[in-house]
Amino acid sequence: MDLGRTWAVFRKEVIHIRRDPFSLLQIILMPVILLLLYGYALTFDIKNVTLAIYDQENSQLSGDFINRFRGTEYFQIVRFTASYAELEQLVTRRKVQVGLLLPFDFSRKYQTGKTAVVQALVDGTDSNTANIVLGYVQAVATAYNQTLLARRLTTKGPARLEMPVDSQVRYWFNEDLESRNYIVPSLIAVIMMMVGAMLTSLTVVRELERGSLEGLLATPIKKTELLLGKLGPYFFIGMFDMLIIMAMGKFLFQVPLRGSPLLLIGLSAIFMIATLGQGLLISVTSDNQMQAFQMVMLTTFLPAFFLSGAIFAIYLMPLPLQVASFCVPARYLVTISKGIYLKGIGLKVLWPHVLMLLGSGILLVLAAIAKFAKKIR
């Protein structure tokens, strides 16, 4: 391979990019806009759950129980109803997410040593949200149960009561349980997968549509030199986009980066080669630019979003999809990015994913070169 000829194609592609500044601006702004949209729109933090209450008793004990909901950031009491029908209607019309019914004998059952039953109506339209909200309600009820139990035992028996089991929970790696700390590192892989493939998906097919590809092939340049020369400028543009996304994650979303930023950049460069190689493969197998664009959206964004583990855990998927996820390069960068961002781990742990990422990059670039050589014969 002649580096001089590769450099000539590199310069040609750079001149083409400079002559179309609007497209260059789009390429730079696209990952910024995508990260802003997904970074703020995708969240698993459920707070300020709207709550309506029908308190049939209106006693001091029931008011104390209601104050437990008022004192947490997860619930927002928006209305007290005068009937059960009104409570049902609020939940049915999605005016509130939870309806809470405290019966008329709430205090009497507690004072007689029986169990007071509280009914919670939870909007189950969104099953995931409903399960989380139900967990919040049960947590508040459990904490209040412990308080009442301690009060009852203290009254009847010893002056001091100690619980037999003291549970102290500590979260590792994402101590604040913020969704953005989990989502933003994953979005880096998803966004760069789509942007990287889009950068090179139109390079060869554009030359084919314009009729300039035959002129390039009439020169002494080899196919490998042509494709690598076209890949070069977009590699640097893609890495520049990567740095912008990392800066946004650090300064805009306040996501902590516990590991080495240089390691993340280096491994992202390998991933960028894989995505650019996939874009080249799409470009040499497409008949026009519209077809290439559609193939990019179908084969990059959707698999990267759903099969990489960025949003949905891979081990919860059906077995065929788990096997298919090994063919998605974004899967490996998602694991690498989360590991470096949240856990601060390095190559000692991540080396299997690095090898898979490197292998996929080499395979995609070689496949693009082989397919291009076959196409022009």
The whole-angstrom separation of Cα 203 and Cα 267 is 25
In degrees and rounded to multiples of 5, residue 56 shows phi and psi of -75, -20
Residue with the two structure tokens 């000539």: 8
Do 37 and 56 fall within a single domain?
Answer: no
With a cut of 80, say whether residue 186 has pLDDT above it: yes
pLDDT score, position 274: 92
Mean predicted confidence (pLDDT) in 219-242: 87
What is the domain count for the chain? 2
In a domain, 253, yes or no: yes
In a domain, 164, yes or no: no
pLDDT band at 164 (very low <50, low <70, confident <90, very high): low
With a cut of 50, say whether residue 36 has pLDDT above it: yes
pLDDT band at 374 (very low <50, low <70, confident <90, very high): very low
In a domain, 149, yes or no: yes
In a domain, 166, yes or no: no
Full residue range of the structural domain in which residue 357 is found:
3-43+178-375
Q: Which of 98, 122, 156 is the last residue of a domain?
A: 156
Percent of the chain with pLDDT over 70: 94
User: For 95-133, how does the pLDDT look when each residue is reduced to its tens digit (9 = 90+)?
Assistant: 999 999 999 888 888 888 788 888 999 988 888 888 889
With a cut of 70, say whether residue 155 has pLDDT above it: no
Do 39 and 77 fall within a single domain?
Answer: no
Percent of the chain with pLDDT over 90: 30
pLDDT score, position 377: 44
Evaluated on CA atoms 183, 184, 190, 191, the torsion sign reads positive
Do 239 and 138 fall within a single domain?
Answer: no
Mean predicted confidence (pLDDT) in 327-349: 92
Residue with the two structure tokens 């805009």: 252
With a cut of 50, say whether residue 375 has pLDDT above it: no
Query: Which residues lie below 8 Å from residue 129, measured CB to CB, with a gap of 6+?
Result: 46, 97
In a domain, 162, yes or no: no
Do 18 and 61 fall within a single domain?
Answer: no
Do 313 and 186 fall within a single domain?
Answer: yes
Do 249 and 358 fall within a single domain?
Answer: yes
In a domain, 107, yes or no: yes
The whole-angstrom separation of Cα 81 and Cα 66 is 14
Do 198 and 286 fall within a single domain?
Answer: yes
Do 224 and 324 fall within a single domain?
Answer: yes
With a cut of 60, say whether residue 159 has pLDDT above it: no
The CA-CA-CA angle for residues 311, 313, 315, to 5°, reads 160
User: For 271-305, how does the pLDDT look when each residue is reduced to its tens digit (9 = 90+)?
Assistant: 999 999 999 999 888 888 888 888 888 888 888 88
In a domain, 324, yes or no: yes
pLDDT score, position 181: 85
In degrees and rounded to multiples of 5, residue 83 shows phi and psi of -155, 160
Do 325 and 368 fall within a single domain?
Answer: yes
Do 31 and 57 fall within a single domain?
Answer: no
Helix runs in the chain, H state only = 3-18, 21-41, 60-70, 84-92, 106-111, 127-156, 179-201, 203-210, 213-217, 223-251, 261-285, 289-296, 302-306, 319-324, 329-338, 347-375
Do 132 and 195 fall within a single domain?
Answer: no
In a domain, 168, yes or no: no
Do 77 and 193 fall within a single domain?
Answer: no
CATH code of the domain containing 121: 3.40.1710.10
pLDDT band at 239 (very low <50, low <70, confident <90, very high): very high
